Amino acid sequence: MSKGTTRSSLRDLAVVGLCAAIVVIGSAARSEDEGAAANPTDASEASAPTLTMSPLPNGAPGKPAALVSEAAPRSGCDFPDSGFGDYLGWRPLPLGRILVPSSLTVPPDGGFDLLVHFHGTEPVRKQLAPLGLGLVIAGLDTGTLSSGYKSTFESEGTFDAMLSAISREVALATKNPAARPRSIVLSSWSAGYGAIARILARGRDDVDAVLLLDSLYASYASGGKMPDPTELLPFSSFARAAANGGPLLFVTHTAVPTPDYASTLETGTFLLREIGADVPATPPAQDPFGLSRAHDQNHFFLRGYAGSDGDAHCGQLRLLPDILRDHVLPASRP
């Protein structure tokens, strides 16, 4: 086994150690080898398994959030379920599943706003469905390993095939055969960044925004404790483009330690350096879920939080609704 493979395996094992305490995926759960070999159209994915979240014991109490960009997310992994709102319920796709608003009306050119989320689709549904944002929401859960997401999108045409399937479902729901995404937002939590890494590595020009919710890890470069720049190249390229006014990148991180590989705090620092930002030492916060640092540069946004346990990790998912409302949707709509 190569050193790179060993580092990747250590990272996957550590990520699954963190997520396994938080996320229970029923029939979709699989070992790393099974995930790498699985057919993306297998029955477990097509049947849209439910991802359930359980609170961790002895978690710190949540803090009420004001504007999400400047306040800490509430902690905890238990997301109240207020139903599907205006959505028609999950519709299975060959890869993943989709929610389409019952009131969605697409213009003659068929354009609709699309969010594709990787890892934690049920918490995303529970938060977004009642809000009436008018988004088509697609989601994919492949398990708790980043390698599962990476292998799913290893083939060049996989994401295009997913987009085509989404367009077909929206066309059926709206009775408009011209349905197609006019804006594409990719989001991920935890291990889901593996899918976005593969998608961005293709050099796509149709992705309008990327949202990484405590969701960017990397191996350490050989001989040190710096994130491997080769692994992070798709994200550093996207970050530089965002900082120069290109597509939007919103990165959040906790202070959850990952001794054997680069944590989301460390990769966040790496991205700040890549865009030429000053990187002062991250100050300790008295509130374990408090904002520890923030940086805005054109369309690049980074928010760091001080929490260092599973509740803090789950809490990052709670940032998604306001990030969409405050930063993403105003730019995507006429």
Q: How many domains does the chain have?
A: 1
Q: Report how far residue 49's alpha carbon sits from residue 145's, in angstroms, rounded to the nearest whole number.
A: 17
Q: Report how far residue 217's alpha carbon sits from residue 263's, in angstroms, rounded to the nearest whole number.
A: 5
First to last CA, the chain: 52
Structural domain span for residue 108: 3-332
Are 89 and 83 in contact by the 8 Å Cβ rule? The answer is no
Q: Report how far residue 331's alpha carbon sits from residue 250's, in angstroms, rounded to the nearest whole number.
A: 14
**What pLDDT is attached to residue 38?**
26
Q: Which residues pair with 305 in a beta bridge?
A: 291
Band (pLDDT 50/70/90 cuts) for residue 279 is confident
Average pLDDT of the segment spanning 263-286? 87
Q: Report how far residue 75's alpha carbon sits from residue 55's, in angstroms, rounded to the nearest whole number.
A: 10
Angle at 274 between CA 270 and CA 276, to 5 degrees: 115
Q: Does residue 53 have a pLDDT over 80?
A: no
> What is the value of pTM for the model shown?
0.81
CATH code of residue 286:
3.40.50
Are 135 and 128 in contact by the 8 Å Cβ rule? The answer is yes
Q: Which residues pair with 138 in a beta bridge?
A: 98, 116
**Poorest-confidence range of 80-84, 117-121, 194-198?**
80-84
Handedness of CA 56, 256, 81, 52 (dihedral sign): negative
Average pLDDT of the segment spanning 11-21? 49
Q: Does residue 15 have a pLDDT over 90?
A: no
Average pLDDT of the segment spanning 39-54? 26
